[in-house]
Structure 1
Amino acid sequence: MENRKIRMGMIGGGSDAFIGAIHCRAALMENQIELVCGCFSINPDISISSGRSYFIPDNRIYLTWQEMIEKESQLPKEQRIDFVTIVTPNKFHCEPALAALDAGFNVVIDKPMTYSLEEALQLREKVKETGLTLALTHVYSAYPAVKEMKKRIANGVIGKVRRLFVEYSQGWLTKRIELKGGNNAVWRNDPKAAGKGGCVGDIGTHAWHLAEYVTGAKVTEVCAELRHIADGRPLDDDAVAFMHFDQGFPGLLQVTQVATGEANNIRLRVYGETAGMEWRQMEPNILYMKWLDRPTEEVRVGNRYVYLSDFTKWNTRTPGGHPEGFIEAFANIYQNFALTIRAKANGEAPTEEMLDFPTVEDGVRGMQFIETMVRAGHNNDEKWQKWVEK
């Protein structure tokens, strides 16, 4: 690949979207990527106005994603996009991703990866067939403190893991705001757009992914309860699960979107033989080390702290005391993805640091998590459900 920025096209993410602007800001942060085209909304007027707000020329603002992929693939190599980022409701993830891969474009997708497990398996096969790269934006695994947590557990700092707790609490769906329309609660509570899981798919997948990412262990079975606390809501808005992991330890997962007054409260605790660790998303630059025989230690993240692993420093931009948060975590995924596709295009092997982003395999496991949780939550006769690998 010549010495240039990597060209991105966006599907979804217009001015009426929930997360599109975050993706765009994050993608551009490290000066590796430029936004050159997009179909930003199913509403043509919004797509056009959104594209113009990014100073994209009218001939590269598309009215359908099909038109975008077709016309971009016909452009000369030195002009067309290198990858597509898909930030649409779950129902509209798989088809444009498959088309993009067929056209030779790499792909970034917001989580969960697809509408159903069947679609996820289909997408995995397409990635294998094309040899292209797919990144999934499980953003919380990209915080530097979470990466430090992962490395310390892998290096045996806390000994063998004995117990894990992960929770993700929100309160924005305490009332049935989806009935008012005009907000992002509408499609998230519509099984035809979101899929089988509500809260479980929207934030439960983040909690599950954090648990597997930091420990390196895989969930093997769950015992779950899914609830519809807001009267009449068709999808779950609250869930709890006991989990067994392949390394022999148990875990407890709690997720809810009806915790009145909560904003985005994520808390991850892992306990080993010699120490425990805790990370909270609301104060993301601190990792707590909990010792048996001395006071709790605050491990602070910053790019000048010599005690951090090189793996953590790779994903850290600022000196200590200057918090890195949500957008920077997204940027870590986009940076590592961009460096990976650049290395592959140049016939080079991506480094371990470059390859540190969620992939299509995480996407398949995320859909298996939703399926397993829903099956366990709705099966009164056999609450423990085995994780079925496919």
Structure 2
Amino acid sequence: MRLRMGMIGGGPGAFIGPIHRIAAELDREIELVAGVFSSDPDRSRAAAADYHIDPDRAYPDLDTMFAGEAARADGIDFVSIVSPNHHHLPAARAALTAGVAVMSDKPMTASLAEARALADLVATAGRPYALTYTYSGYPLVREARARIAAGAIGTVRKAVVEYSQGWLAGPAEGKQAEWRVDPARSGAGGCIGDIGVHAFQLAEFVTGLRVTRLLADLAAVVPGRALDDDCSVLLRFDNGARGVLLASQIEVGELNGLRIRVYGETGGLTWRQETPNDLTLHHIDGRTEIVRAGDASLGPDARARTRTPGGHPEGYLEAFANLYRDFAALLRGEVAPLLPDATEGLRGMAFIETAVTASRNEAGWVDLKL
């Protein structure tokens, strides 16, 4: 039987809500059946019609949804939170208090204090909680992690992660842009919270290391903008390795240029989100190896997360779907060790807040503290 999903957010005009719906339903393990798609009841009903779900299960608010679904024999098994950052904590709290599991879009909350409160609630609620750090769902990202863990490049010495976009180089116009540059809805971080935290999570996920210190330079380049839109951060990892994190939304011509490079004692590797089915490995003897999605040499996790034969490109939606597949396994009592959880969510919020505060205060190198 398929698991039943409720959605919080994702109303008319939303980008990420339909992405979550498609990804969740891709493997036919999950079905979207209910939701509070907007704070406006009429817009919530309009979204339900777009999603082709029962209009009686388009609820006007969270309390009504959780009460209504609890009264049904076929009530929701979990919710997916796809609303702006400032709503993540109240939505997750309402769900967990109602005994409903949570899959949340990143970042975890709008502030580190909220993330700490939510992490405490997750620890006591006894229900699964996970975050959609999308890029950790790509098969070759998981292959990169596995190869580094197996010693394929030796001890990690340096990691460079870049996330380049250009869509906010001008005025922030439209629903998707406006809330991202509004501190009341986004939180203290702009670009650093929107895409910089993805880069941070990817660096830790692939290397298997933890960032312990950072030096941040965040800027609001576009005149009048209240939040950062261009970020440069130096990193130090717990094994002594150095790192560089660059994130920008004002680089004209860039689309979704996420790239990670990791260098070790005996080799290096590179992965790019815009060509996600190739993983490049460099060996210290001068050889360069291209590993492709579907290759026979892939490890078990990467193979299990690949749906089509080699040469049939998979990408963003499939990576998202891999996270939902892992979450479905978790709800059925299985293990999903690579699924981003509350600990990763808390680390992400600590990174955002530490970087913002350190940059504003020109504090130099600072410790990353949860």
Q: TM-score, normalized by length of structure 2?
A: 0.98
- The equivalent of 2:367 in structure 1 is 386
Instruction: Report SS of the residue matched to 1:378.
Output: helix
Does residue 1:206 correspond to 2:194, yes or no? Answer: no
2:225 aligned to which of 230, 233, 255? 233
In the alignment, residue 126 of structure 2 is paired with which amino acid?
A: G
Instruction: Report SS of the residue matched to 1:22.
Output: helix
Does residue 1:37 correspond to 2:34, yes or no? Answer: yes
How much has 1:74 moved relative to structure 2? 2.9
Q: Tell me if structure 2 keeps the 8 A contact 1:13–1:41.
A: yes
Q: Tell me if structure 2 keeps the 8 A contact 1:205–1:366.
A: yes
Q: Tell me if structure 2 keeps the 8 A contact 1:101–1:127.
A: yes
Q: Tell me if structure 1 keeps the 8 A contact 2:172–2:181.
A: no
How much has 1:20 moved relative to structure 2? 0.5
Q: Tell me if structure 2 keeps the 8 A contact 1:337–1:355.
A: no
How much has 1:128 moved relative to structure 2? 1.0
Q: Deviations over 1:263-298 (max 9, x none)?
A: 000110000011100000110000000122233111
In the alignment, residue 268 of structure 2 is paired with which amino acid?
A: G
- The equivalent of 1:332 in structure 2 is 322
Instruction: Report SS of the residue matched to 2:269.
Output: strand
Instruction: Report SS of the residue matched to 1:184.
Output: helix
- The equivalent of 2:177 in structure 1 is 185
C-alpha distance in 2, partners of 1:66/1:366?
A: 29
C-alpha distance in 1, partners of 2:7/2:246?
A: 33
2:344 aligned to which of 362, 365, 371? 362
- The equivalent of 2:241 in structure 1 is 249
Q: Tell me if structure 1 keeps the 8 A contact 2:282–2:289.
A: yes
Q: Deviations over 1:323-352 (max 9, x none)?
A: 110010000000000111112xxxxxx24x
1:217 aligned to which of 195, 200, 209? 209
Q: Tell me if structure 1 keeps the 8 A contact 2:38–2:44.
A: yes
My pick for the range that moved more, 145-154 or 94-103, is 94-103
How much has 1:370 moved relative to structure 2? 0.5
- The equivalent of 1:375 in structure 2 is 357
Does residue 1:63 correspond to 2:60, yes or no? Answer: yes
- The equivalent of 1:20 in structure 2 is 17
- The equivalent of 1:79 in structure 2 is 74
In the alignment, residue 309 of structure 1 is paired with which amino acid?
A: G
2:108 aligned to which of 88, 104, 113? 113
C-alpha distance in 1, partners of 2:61/2:107?
A: 22
Q: Tell me if structure 1 keeps the 8 A contact 2:107–2:349.
A: yes
C-alpha distance in 2, partners of 1:152/1:164?
A: 15
Does residue 1:276 correspond to 2:268, yes or no? Answer: yes
How much has 1:316 moved relative to structure 2? 0.9
Alignment gaps of 5+ in structure 1: 344-349
In the alignment, residue 7 of structure 2 is paired with which amino acid?
A: M
The count of residues paired between Structure 1 and Structure 2 equals 370
RMSD: 1.1
Does residue 1:309 correspond to 2:306, yes or no? Answer: no
After superposition, where does 1:85-234 map in structure 2 within 5 Å? 85-178=80-173, 182-234=174-226
Q: Tell me if structure 2 keeps the 8 A contact 1:13–1:87.
A: yes
- The equivalent of 1:286 in structure 2 is 278
C-alpha distance in 2, partners of 1:184/1:59?
A: 28
How much has 1:358 moved relative to structure 2? 0.5
Q: Deviations over 1:66-122 (max 9, x none)?
A: 3212221233xx311110001000011111111111111100110001011111111
How much has 1:155 moved relative to structure 2? 0.2
Q: Tell me if structure 1 keeps the 8 A contact 2:210–2:237.
A: yes
Instruction: Report SS of the residue matched to 2:175.
Output: coil
The runs of at least 4 consecutive aligned structure 1 residues that moved more than 6 Å come to none
Q: TM-score, normalized by length of structure 1?
A: 0.93
Identity of aligned residues (%): 49
In the alignment, residue 174 of structure 1 is paired with which amino acid?
A: A
Alignment gaps of 5+ in structure 2: none
Instruction: Report SS of the residue matched to 2:135.
Output: helix
Instruction: Report SS of the residue matched to 1:35.
Output: strand
Q: Tell me if structure 2 keeps the 8 A contact 1:340–1:355.
A: no
